[in-house]
């Protein structure tokens, strides 16, 4: 499968280049960075420290997408919606790991999915997607006697909060409880907040150092507490998931898919 990495010079971009280069059946055919990036003109393999790949980083996605079967995209929301339109034009697979996407962004992605095969997830790792199924099941089993709080920590450079993973886990909990997350989530607390409303799903965010990604879903009841956690130790888990998603999407029809579809985990 011929793959392009956009955001090639980023933390995930470099890990994706390495993973594509190391995956049998995949070839890197393009690496994209934004106009003016110091990475332009550099060899993608050298950028990712995997040796020369003879693929220069460019700022011309249209030309590169036309020669590809899929694009791996861990960039930023505005870039991702623009890349989705180009992926639709080229009729290719678009794997989206970018987080911080808002409702209008999803509307654009849904439109692009009429022609592209879009696979989007706030977390591409096997572990987190398994965890989401467990959270859904525990939330459905325990009911509102147990308060749900979602705690996450990431490195100091992360720009969005709560993390895409925290929101994915919140959605899973809300699905388990059969409530809309949008109406029941508490994204921050400060000052005289009053007592907790039963049934709310709370989020707490920590940032610091080089933490790759840590998430806990806490079910706090009267006299006991259940905690389900995931710790990412290495970004390769996300990159491997993204490449697996691209390969899965190769022969699928245009549409909007998630990692649960890729992993066959829809309902535990
Ligand atoms: N779903 C998942 O499993 C995971 C998701 N993520 C998400 O992936 C995203 C990227 O994370 P990370 O790699 O740490 O961030 P980085 O900031 O290290 O990388 C993002 C890269 O994208 C580039 N970029 C931004 N806009 C454009 C554009 N228009 N065209 C081309 N390149 C562009 C940036 O360039 P510049 O620096 O010039 O802006 C940068 O090189 C985040 O949203 C993060 O939350 C991360 C890990 C796992
Ligand atoms: O920005 C990151 O680094 C990560 N972002 C994703 C998120 O927002 O959940 C996934 C992972 O935790 C790393």
Residue corresponding to tokens 């996407």? 101
The reported pLDDT for the residue numbered 143 is: 87
Residue in 18, 94, 158, 215 annotated catalytic = 158
Is the complex ipTM higher than 0.90? yes
- CB-based contact 229:215 (threshold 8 Å): yes
- CB-based contact 208:137 (threshold 8 Å): no
What is the β-pairing status of strands 93-96 and 147-154? unpaired
Ligand nearest to the CA of 167: 2
> Atom 4 in ligand 2: which residue has the minimum CA distance?
213
Q: Answer yes or no: 158 catalytic.
A: yes
Pocket of ligand 1 (CB under 6 A): 6-7, 9-13, 32-34, 37, 74-76, 79, 97-100, 121-124, 164, 238
Pocket of ligand 2 (CB under 6 A): 99, 122-123, 154, 158, 163-165, 213, 232
pLDDT mean by block of 10 residues, the chain; 268 residues: 98 98 98 98 98 98 98 98 98 98 98 98 98 97 96 98 98 97 96 97 98 98 98 98 98 97 81
- Sketch the domain layout of the chain as residue ranges: 2-120+235-263, 126-232
166 Cα to the center of ligand 2, angstroms? 9
Question: Which pair of tokens denotes residue 191?
Answer: 């000052």
- CB-based contact 100:31 (threshold 8 Å): no
Q: How many of the other CB atoms lie within 10 Å of CB of 10?
A: 16
The residues, any chain, with a CB within 8 Å of residue 144's CB and separated by 6 or more, are: 177, 198, 199
Q: How many of the other CB atoms lie within 10 Å of CB of 36?
A: 7
Residue 12 counted as an annotated binding residue: yes
CA dihedral (70, 105, 40, 21) positive or negative = negative
80 Cα to the center of ligand 1, angstroms? 10
SS3 69: coil
Opening angle at CA 69, ends 65 and 72, nearest 5: 70
Which residue among 4, 7, 124 is best mutated to probe the pocket of ligand 1, counting the most ligand atoms within 8 A of its Cβ?
A: 7
The fourth-level CATH superfamily of domain 126-232 is Dihydrodipicolinate Reductase; domain 2 (3.30.360.10)
Which residue among 5, 10, 15, 61 is best mutated to probe the pocket of ligand 1, counting the most ligand atoms within 8 A of its Cβ?
A: 10
Separation of alpha carbons 138 and 140, rounded Å? 5
Beta strands in 192-232 (DSSP E): 201-207, 213-220, 225-232
Residue 35 counted as an annotated binding residue: no
Alpha helices for 72-177 (secondary structure H): 77-90, 103-112, 126-142, 164-177
What CATH class does 2-120+235-263 carry?
alpha beta
pTM for this entry: 0.98
Residue 45 counted as an annotated binding residue: no
Q: Answer yes or no: 182 catalytic.
A: no
124-163 exposure pattern, b = at least 16 Cβ within 10 A, e = fewer:
bbbebbebbbebbebbeebeeebbbbbbbbbeeebebbbb
Find how far residue 244's CA is from the centre of its chain. Answer: 13
Residue corresponding to tokens 């009729």? 91
Q: How many of the other CB atoms lie within 10 Å of CB of 180?
A: 11
**Alpha-carbon distances of 12 from 96, 141, 175, 190, 201, rounded to whole Å:** 12, 36, 30, 33, 29
Q: Which atom of ligand 1 is nearest to the CA of 12?
A: 13
């Amino acid at each position: 499968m011929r793959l392009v990495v956009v955001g090639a010079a980023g933390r995930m971009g470099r890990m994706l280049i390495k993973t594509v280069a190391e995956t049998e059946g995949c070839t890197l055919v393009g690496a994209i960075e934004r106009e003016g990036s110091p990475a332009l003109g550099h060899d993608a393999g050298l950028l990712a420290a995997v040796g020369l790949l003879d693929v220069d980083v460019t700022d011309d996605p249209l030309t590169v997408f036309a020669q590809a079967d899929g694009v791996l995209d861990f960039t930023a929301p505005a870039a991702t919606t623009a890349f989705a339109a180009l992926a639709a034009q080229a009729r290719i697979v678009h794997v989206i790991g970018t987080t911080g996407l808002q409702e209008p962004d999803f509307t654009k992605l849904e439109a692009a999915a009429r022609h592209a095969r879009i696979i989007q997830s706030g977390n591409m790792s096997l572990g987190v997607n398994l965890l989401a199924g467990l959270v859904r099941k525990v939330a459905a089993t325990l009911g509102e006697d147990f308060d749900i709080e979602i705690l996450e920590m990431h490195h100091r450079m992360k720009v969005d909060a709560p993390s895409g993973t925290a929101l994915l886990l919140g959605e899973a909990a809300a699905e388990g409880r059969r409530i809309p997350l949008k109406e029941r989530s508490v994204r921050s607390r400060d000052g005289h907040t009053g007592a907790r409303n039963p049934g709310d799903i709370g989020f707490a965010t920590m940032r610091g150092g080089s933490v790759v990604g840590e998430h806990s879903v806490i079910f706090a009841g009267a006299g006991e507490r259940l905690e389900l956690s995931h710790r990412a130790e290495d970004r390769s888990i996300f990159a491997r998931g993204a490449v697996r998603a691209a390969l899965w999407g190769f022969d699928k029809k245009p549409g909007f898919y998630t990692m649960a579809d890729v992993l066959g985990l829809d309902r535990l």
